Structure 1
Amino acid sequence: MKVLVYWAAVVVALALVAAAGGGQVAMAAVRCSPAELSSCASAITTASPPSRLCCRKLREQKPCLCNYLKNPTLGKFVNTPNARKVAAACRTPFPKC
């Protein structure tokens, strides 16, 4: 339960960063928004299999992942072993930035 509360706070923080412009960058018709990856929260925090929605959103946000990794606020959530497992399960190569 604590993990869910923690992750909800993270998602809200990411949404606030995105709303403030820190997480939104237009890249080749992709609107970078870390909040788009909220469907991956349970897979990243609990190591459960990612949903189809999570994988679709991860593929959509793929051009943005390096920016997320380079952002000190977001990078610590994106660059985790479970996040790498989610990317592998979704057949989306983890970026090498």
Structure 2
Amino acid sequence: MLGMAPTQGCCVQLRAQQPCLCQYARDPSYSSYVTSPSAQRAVRACNVRPNC
């Protein structure tokens, strides 16, 4: 799975969370997940643009 593009279902779920991504990025409990290189690749691949 590593290195593969996210599935359509994954992108749908990521887009559903788009309004929360900035909040997650500011929360120390979640920021490492949201700002990780893997998460950033998924965000780009799914064309999700959080406006923080």
TM-score (ref. length: structure 2) = 0.82
Equivalences, count: 52
User: 1 or 2, which has the higher helix percentage?
Assistant: 1
User: 1 or 2, which has the higher strand percentage?
Assistant: 1
> More relative contact order in 1 or in 2 (CA 8 Å, sep 6+)?
2
Q: How does 1:1-97 map to 2 (within 5 A)?
A: 46-93=2-49, 95-97=50-52
TM-score (ref. length: structure 1) = 0.48
**In the TM superposition, what whole-angstrom CA distance separates every residue of 1:29-85 from its partner, at most 9, and x where no partner exists?**
xxxxxxxxxxxxx6xxx2321011110011111000011101111110110122111
Q: How big is the alpha-carbon RMSD for the aligned residues of Structure 1 and Structure 2?
A: 1.5
Percent identity over paired residues? 37
- Structure 2: tracts of 5 or more residues without a match: none
| Counterpart code for 2:18 | K
Between the aligned partners of 1:90 and 1:72, the Cα distance in structure 2 is 24
- Structure 1: tracts of 5 or more residues without a match: 1-41
